[in-house]
């Protein structure tokens, strides 16, 4: 009987690890470099596990990703959790069934990355950046409800967009 319990426990552990989201911990500049190599639109949501407005809006970003998948469109997550909390990020995303590409901003404890996101960025999260073909075309500081998010992103999916930042 103990043998079956051990086998069953290991099997469950394997399923949990297979479903766990991998979150690479890299400096913010490296995330921007990865985005610069992408074609199409990349939405980067800056968030943290301890930020209630961030957590509330994450399902909206997942819905956005799911609804536009395969349309030259991606949603990425950039966790601003401090390094001591990074171990919590992947399990948190897995528990919430969030499948977007995820990064941990390894230099989140250093405020220098904030100006790299946007000169007008106060550092308050959530915040969202929009890139088209690797070039930042939009920025929004603050939380979205689902309708606001979809409306905000729609303007960047238009071919006639003038590439000005929106706040």
pLDDT-based confidence at 160, cuts 50/70/90? very low
Could you give the CA distance from residue 45 to residue 137 in angstroms, rounded to a whole number?
A: 14
pLDDT in tens, 77-91: 999 998 888 888 999
pTM over 0.85: no
Say if domain 22-157 classifies as CATH 3.40.50.720: no
Helical H segments across 20-162, by residue range:
28-36, 52-68, 86-95, 112-117, 146-157
Q: Which residues contact 67 (CB under 8 A, 6 or more apart)?
A: none
The two structure tokens encoding residue 121: 């960025």
Confidence at residue 42, expressed as pLDDT on a 0 to 100 scale: 97
Confidence at residue 159, expressed as pLDDT on a 0 to 100 scale: 55
DSSP, collapsed to helix, strand or coil, labels residue 42 as: strand
Range of weakest confidence among 64-68, 81-85, 89-93, 161-165:
161-165
């Amino acid at each position: 009987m103990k043998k079956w319990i051990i086998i069953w426990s290991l099997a469950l552990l394997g399923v949990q690890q297979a479903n766990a989201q991998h979150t690479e911990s890299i400096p913010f500049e490296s995330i921007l470099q990865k985005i610069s190599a992408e074609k199409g639109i990349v939405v980067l949501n800056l968030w943290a596990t301890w930020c209630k407005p961030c957590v509330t809006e994450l399902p909206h970003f997942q819905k956005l990703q799911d609804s536009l998948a395969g349309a030259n469109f991606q949603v990425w997550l950039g966790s601003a959790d401090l390094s001591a909390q990074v171990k919590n990020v992947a399990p948190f995303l897995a528990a919430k069934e969030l499948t977007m590409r995820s990064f941990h901003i390894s230099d989140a404890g250093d405020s220098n990355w904030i100006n790299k996101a946007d000169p007008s960025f106060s550092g308050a999260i959530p915040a969202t950046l929009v890139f088209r073909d690797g070039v930042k075309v939009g920025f929004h500081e603050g939380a979205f409800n689902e309708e606001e998010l979809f409306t905000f992103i729609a303007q960047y999916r238009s071919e006639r967009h003038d590439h000005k930042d929106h706040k």
